[in-house]
Amino acid sequence: MNAESTARHRARRGEGERLRGEILAAAQALLIETADTSAVSIRAIADRVGVTPPSIYRHFADKDALMMAVCSQVFAQLDEAMEKAAAGAEDPFDELCRKGHAYVAFGMAHPEHYRLVFMIKHTLTKPRTLDPSELPGTEAFQHLQDTVRRAFDVRTPGVEVPDEFATTCALWTALHGITSARISLPDFPWPPLDDQLALFVAPWRGLLEPHPVATSKPHGKSAKSKR
């Protein structure tokens, strides 16, 4: 009778996947609109799709599986955003800066998704999470590590290089700190985001390029450190 009933058509035989997609989309929308993980219940999602709660179980084993699927979907977008941001980079260091910025921006644009993946305890003792590498966001981490490797590669040869993985962890942890702090305490009088990012990222240039060799574009302020 109403718009709802005309909008929803029962899926054809082979089209079982259609509802699956609609469920994921509805969960995403609710997560964004309510900005409250606890508001995204099986019932609320079903309501949004225009379907009854049990029909969700035809497409997802349980709520955890659904939420995992939601996260995977969003973190594919994170990886995409970071790769896109890195596309026009001049050098690996610039790439790190751009990726860092994209990371924080993404987290702040999807705070509840971010919370779901990185701010809630994930333990391997839960049988659900079989493989730590199956955690959403793994591609993005891998690609970040690739950039770190590339940054190491352009360094002056012969100079000792810190552990690649540990460096990526440190970098990621810094980005995570900025992102999660702002998500949790949005009313704290944070300094401007760009300033804070700069404070974190600047030392990395020093770490990666101790000898000012490939620095093609001094960004104005570098003169100061020369006295």
169 scored as a contact of a copy of itself (CB under 8 A): yes
Choice between 54 and 132, CB closer to DNA: 54
Query: 60 with 66: CB under 8 angstroms?
Result: yes
Nearest to 205 by CA among 82, 97, 99, 87: 97
Q: How far apart are CA 92 and CA 118, in angstroms?
A: 26
Q: How far apart are CA 188 and CA 180, in angstroms?
A: 12
Q: How far apart are CA 112 and CA 109, in angstroms?
A: 9
- For residue 227, count CB atoms less than 10 angstroms from its CB and return exposed for 0-12, middle for 13-18, buried for 19 or more: exposed
120 binds, among DNA, a copy of itself, none (CB under 5 to 8 A by kind): a copy of itself
Q: Mask: binding to a copy of itself, 65-84, rule CB under 8 A, as x and -?
A: --------------------
* Least distance from DNA to the Cβ atom of residue 54, Å: 3
Choice between 54 and 191, CB closer to a copy of itself: 191
Residues that bind a copy of itself (CB under 8 A): 35, 111, 115, 118-124, 132, 135, 160, 162-163, 165-167, 169-170, 172-178, 180-181, 183-191, 195-196, 199-200, 202-203, 206-207, 210, 224-225
